[in-house]
């Protein structure tokens, strides 16, 4: 049994990590604005508070999943968003080094520009937007100054949500319910269930342990546009998928890469991979939010 601390434990991925890892391991969740016991309320910008929580709980692994993930929010408030995604990451890395804890940093496929997929773990980063840049900057800092850290790049996520708008995938269902019928059919995505990410990270901790380091890619393998995701969800919402069409490209949105397929060569070699089907998993996720 390992002692695992998770930042962003009230978020979409953090909740899934807490749920999965708590089954076999001693877990401590950190949150802030939405933190309720047993999740500890900790301001990640507060170095002393962070050191205190490390000192009290002495985690063996720290999964840093807290982040600003909305690319458009970066354009509106770049300073605080970059501070959260970069300065906080370095602060946590220092604490991990000080207390002999293995850091697992959650990164993104948006560190790539989407022009040369699929991307191997050692591919050069080339982000198109500030969100991707903030993650690429943190990755470079960790690889240079904290080489024992592990970096887990993941794609767009969905999973158990408190409200459909909580993920970029389930918000499509909310848009469908509200009557939207046109969706992006240009950018290619690999929607991945947070439960699968959590399971893979649990297996990685159990199989590889403290030898985890460098970059790992974790992703489902089904390639879909938002329009294709919408067509997959439509039947559960009693909507005719034939009525859905491709939307015009929004020129005002933060630029998104076209295809950031992540090639997993490291975890796959250990027999740790994702093979679940989007159509099955998304219906399970949507079910609690549909009125029958």
Cβ-contact 246, 182 below 8 angstroms: yes
Q: pTM of the predicted model, to two decimals?
A: 0.95
pLDDT tens per residue across span 117-158: 999 999 999 999 888 999 999 999 999 999 999 999 999 999
238 half-sphere exposure, CB direction, 13 A CA radius: 4
pLDDT tens per residue across span 181-233: 999 999 999 999 999 999 999 999 999 999 999 999 999 999 999 999 999 99
Average pLDDT for 85-95? 94
- Classify residue 91 as left (phi > 0), alpha (psi -120 to 50) or beta: alpha
Residue 256's pLDDT is: 84
Beta bridge partners of 41: 31
Q: How confident is the model at residue 71 (pLDDT cuts 50, 70, 90)?
A: low
Of the chain, the end-to-end C-alpha distance in Å amounts to 42
Q: Is 122 exposed, middle or buried (0-12, 13-18, 19+ CB in 10 A)?
A: exposed
Name the more confident of 248 and 59: 59
184 half-sphere exposure, CB direction, 13 A CA radius: 17
pLDDT tens per residue across span 109-120: 999 999 999 999
Average pLDDT for 251-277? 92
């Amino acid at each position: 049994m390992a002692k695992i601390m998770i930042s962003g434990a009230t978020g979409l991925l953090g909740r899934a990590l807490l749920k999965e890892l708590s089954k076999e391991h001693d877990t401590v969740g950190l949150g802030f604005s939405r933190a309720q016991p047993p999740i500890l309320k900790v301001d990640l910008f507060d170095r002393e508070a962070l050191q205190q929580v490390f000192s009290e709980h002495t985690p063996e692994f720290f999964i840093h999943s807290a982040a600003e993930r909305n690319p458009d929010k970066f354009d509106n408030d770049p300073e605080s968003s970059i501070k959260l995604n970069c300065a906080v990451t370095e602060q946590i890395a220092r604490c991990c080094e000080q207390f002999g804890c293995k850091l697992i940093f959650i990164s993104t496929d948006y560190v790539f520009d989407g022009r040369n997929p699929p991307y191997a773990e050692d591919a050069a980063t080339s982000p198109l937007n500030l969100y991707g840049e903030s993650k690429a900057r943190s990755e470079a800092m960790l690889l240079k100054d904290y080489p024992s850290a592990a970096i887990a790049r993941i794609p767009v996520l969905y999973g158990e949500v408190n409200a459909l708008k909580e993920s970029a995938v389930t918000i499509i269902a909310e848009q469908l319910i509200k009557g939207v019928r046109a969706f992006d059919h240009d950018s290619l995505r690999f929607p991945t269930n947070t439960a699968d990410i959590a399971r893979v990270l649990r297996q990685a901790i159990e199989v590889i342990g403290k030898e985890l380091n460098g970059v790992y890619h974790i992703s489902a393998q089904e390639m879909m546009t938002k329009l294709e995701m919408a067509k997959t969800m439509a039947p559960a919402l009693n909507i005719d998928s034939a009525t859905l069409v491709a939307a015009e490209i929004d020129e005002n949105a933060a630029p998104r890469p076209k295809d950031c397929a992540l090639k997993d060569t490291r975890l796959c070699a250990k027999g740790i991979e994702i093979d679940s089907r989007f159509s099955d998993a998304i219906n399970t996720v949507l079910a609690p939010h549909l009125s029958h």
